[in-house]
């Protein structure tokens, strides 16, 4: 038997990081088993679906390494509507489903509670199809439904506690539960790997598989992803869009490494490992049962490690969208013609060790490409105190006299200027850094001055001195 897994997102918004994790888990499992990964777009919610959301799903999968052409699909659930209706009809004709015209208010009036489930009122009343008549599945009165789960063992559900659930609405359109089962049958899905939030629906789906005469798939319900308050990640409350992390400058390798650690860990005391190790070692039966905490701070640290591990040439290439304003949300503060690729290449090794996401490259190097630095006023107020003007005067004079404009000469010269005033280098260089870069922190100062050049460095120091008059 060829293993066939599926990833079935709905195109109703940005691509959720939890969905990305499920996609990766399915992808790896299929590769390990020599199987097939199927992409199915569950697009039956016409009111919320948009073509751009579908394209967003495909692009996000591309980004994390599940590229187009390497999987089967995408299929669209809406294209299988005929099969959904045919399955509903078979269930009715076989006596496994019946029609009901009860409203929610009717059920509440009979049971006396808005929390009580459907009471089976129309089970044996012989109501036929018609407008407003929903089709309900006839759940067995006795016995249990055992879900064999690769992660959770054998969760067991008493059938008498599962209400006769709706499988087709009053207008005849099948509901998600039935459509999902029929699609999996049609596509020959053998393993369903998904988040544990779907587990309560699994006994209903398994009953539908059995009623339709097909062996259910192997189930695997992975832990739900939660925030720091141990609440399920929510699009309304949390930063969950994969695209947002991509656009901020997270590397695909770091993201997929981190996502795979949500509920699972590779062997040994290690977390950052080559993707080939994850592909080789991941095991569904080793996934933890407890909820997985999506820690953005930890992800950020992961990404910094991945950035520092890049060859410098690859780092330079990776930064280009933020440096040139292509493919990013916020354009850089300089004009394209002001960007100097050679200057950036010179400071790239210094910047690479100091940023955690690629978008941070802009505030680290903007001073190189602007006519004048963007002054952080808080930094200016904190640094430019009594005596700063005279210190800048002395530094300008000393720098003007330099024969060689290199980092080592600049450092030793400024050290001497500070020593004459009884200042250590840290105190001496602070006004110079703010004058030249606009900030109190950034790349190593003297290497930055070397790349900026004598003329521009001295001009900025003189401009800062004038501001202090």
CB-CB contact of 97 with 138 (8 Å)? yes
Please give the helix or strand (H or E) that residue 41 lies within, else none: strand 36-41
> Distance (Å, rounded) from C-alpha 57 to C-alpha 9?
8
- The contacts of residue 401 (CB under 8 Å, 6+ apart) are none
The closest of 416, 452, 420, 405 to 433, measured between CA atoms, is 452
Sign of CA dihedral 263, 266, 270, 272: negative
List the catalytic residue out of 50, 235, 298, 382: 235
Q: Name the nearest CA neighbour of 186 among 55, 70, 97, 86.
A: 86
| Token output for 229 | 């308050």
Cβ(334)–Cβ(375) below 8 Å: no
* Three-state secondary structure call for residue 390: helix
147 closest CA partner among 197, 190, 193, 206: 206
Is 235 a catalytic site residue?
yes
Q: Encoding tokens for residue 87?
A: 């399955």
Which residues, including other chains, have CB under 8 Å from residue 337's CB and lie 6 or more apart?
Answer: none
From the list 394, 388, 387, 341, the residue with the least C-alpha distance to 368 is 341
Question: What is the torsion angle, in degrees rounded to the nearest 10, for the CA atoms of residue 36, residue 39, residue 44 and residue 48?
Answer: 160
In 3D space, the residue among 218, 147, 207 whose CA is nearest the CA of residue 177 turns out to be 207
Q: Which residues of 400-421 are buried (b: 16+ CB within 10 A; e: fewer)?
A: eeeeeeeeeebbebbeebbeee
The distance of Cα 407 from the centroid of its chain, to the nearest Å, equals: 41
**Dihedral (CA of 319, 325, 326, 330) sign:** positive
- Distance, in Å, from the CA atom of 142 to the CA atom of 348, rounded to the nearest integer, reads 69
DSSP H or E run through 193: strand 191-195
Active site residues: 235
């Amino acid at each position: 038997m060829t293993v066939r897994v599926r990833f079935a997102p709905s195109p109703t918004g940005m691509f959720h990081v939890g969905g990305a994790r499920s996609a990766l888990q399915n992808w790896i499992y299929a590769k390990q088993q020599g199987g097939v990964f199927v992409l199915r777009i569950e697009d039956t919610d016409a009111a919320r679906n948009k073509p751009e959301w579908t394209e967003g799903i495909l692009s996000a999968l591309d980004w994390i390494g599940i590229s187009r052409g390497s999987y089967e699909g995408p299929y669209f659930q809406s294209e299988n509507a005929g099969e959904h209706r045919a399955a509903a009809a078979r269930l009715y004709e076989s006596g496994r489903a019946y029609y009901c015209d009860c409203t929610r208010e009717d059920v509440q009036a009979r049971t006396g509670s808005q929390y009580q489930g459907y009471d089976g009122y129309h089970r044996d009343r012989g109501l036929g199809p018609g407008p407003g008549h929903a089709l309900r599945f006839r759940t067995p009165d006795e016995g249990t439904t055992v879900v064999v789960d690769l992660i959770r063992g054998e969760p067991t559900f008493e059938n008498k506690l599962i209400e006769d659930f709706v499988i087709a609405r009053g207008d005849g359109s099948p509901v998600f539960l039935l459509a999902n089962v029929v699609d999996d049958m049609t596509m020959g899905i053998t393993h369903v790997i998904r988040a544990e939030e779907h587990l309560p629906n699994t006994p209903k789906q398994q009953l539908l598989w059995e009623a339709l005469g097909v062996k259910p798939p192997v189930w695997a319900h992975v832990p739900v992803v939660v925030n720091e308050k141990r609440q399920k990640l929510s699009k309304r409350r949390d930063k969950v869009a994969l695209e947002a992390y991509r656009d901020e400058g997270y590397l695909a390798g770091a993201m997929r490494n981190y996502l795979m650690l949500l509920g699972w860990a590779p062997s040994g005391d290690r977390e950052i490992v080559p993707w080939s190790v994850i592909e080789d070692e991941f095991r569904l039966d080793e996934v933890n049962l407890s909820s997985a905490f999506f820690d953005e701070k930890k992800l950020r640290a992961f990404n910094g490690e991945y950035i520092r591990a890049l060859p410098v040439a690859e780092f330079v290439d990776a930064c280009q969208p933020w440096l040139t304003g292509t493919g990013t949300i916020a354009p850089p503060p300089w004009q394209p013609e002001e960007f100097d690729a050679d200057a950036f290449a010179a400071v790239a090794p210094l910047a690479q060790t100091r940023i955690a996401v690629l978008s941070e490259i802009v505030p680290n190097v903007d001073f190189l490409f602007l006519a004048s630095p963007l002054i952080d006023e808080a930094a200016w107020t904190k640094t430019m105190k009594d005596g700063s003007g005279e210190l800048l005067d002395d530094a300008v004079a000393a720098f003007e006299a330099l024969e060689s404009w290199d980092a080592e000469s600049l450092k030793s010269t400024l050290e001497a200027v500070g020593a004459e005033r009884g200042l250590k280098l840290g105190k001496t260089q602070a006004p110079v850094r703010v004058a030249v870069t606009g900030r109190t922190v950034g790349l190593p100062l003297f290497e930055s001055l070397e790349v900026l050049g004598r003329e521009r460095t001295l001009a900025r120091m003189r401009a800062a001195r004038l501001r202090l008059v």
